[in-house]
Amino acid sequence: TQDYHFGLEEGEGISELFDCD
Partner 1 sequence: LQQTPVRAAMNTIQQLMMILNSASDEPSDNLVSYFNNCTNLSCVFKQKFAEAVGQGCIEIGSQRYRLGVRLYYRVMESILKSEEKRLSIHNFSKLLNNNIFHVSLLACALEVVMATYGTPRNASLNDRTIMETDLSFPWIINILDLKAFDLYKVIESFIKAEPNLTREMIKHLECCEHRIMESLAWQSDSPLFELIKQSKERDGQADQLEPVGN
Distance of alpha carbon 3 from alpha carbon 19, whole angstroms:
28
CB of 1 to partner 1, least distance (A): 6
Which 8-state DSSP code applies to residue 9?
P
In the complex, what is the shortest distance from the CB of residue 9 to partner 1, in angstroms, rounded to a whole number?
11
CB of 16 to partner 1, least distance (A): 10
| DSSP 8-state assignment for residue 13 | -
H helix runs in 1-21, sequence order: 14-17
Q: Name the residues that contact partner 1, by CB under 8 A.
A: 1, 3-8, 11, 13-15, 17-21
